[in-house]
Amino acid sequence: MKVSYNGLWKILIDKNMNKKDLSEKVGLAPATVSKMGRGEFVSMDVLYRIGKALDVDFGDLVSMKVKQEDK
């Protein structure tokens, strides 16, 4: 199973922000933003901090990509 952060990337576009702006605003390490770009898991704390900084809900940021073999 992978996760998709497409919702987050769309929100960044709407707010005229890039990944570096997100990293600076939330205090994320560049490696964390890179993990998200690759669709890897990040901690709930990271998602909470992003949601709080951007004033959005978890569901707006992330969604699951279920593989056929995971069902």
- The domain ranges of the chain are 2-70
Q: What is the pLDDT of residues 39-53, one digit of tens each?
A: 999 999 999 999 999
Q: Structure pTM?
A: 0.86
Q: How far apart are CA 21 and CA 67, in angstroms?
A: 32
CATH superfamily of 2-70: lambda repressor-like DNA-binding domains (1.10.260.40)
Cβ neighbours for 3, distance < 8 A, ≥ 6 positions apart? 39, 40, 41, 62, 63, 64, 65
Q: What is the pLDDT of residues 6-61, one digit of tens each?
A: 999 999 999 999 999 999 999 999 999 999 999 999 999 999 999 999 999 989 99
Instruction: Tell me 27's DSSP state.
Output: T
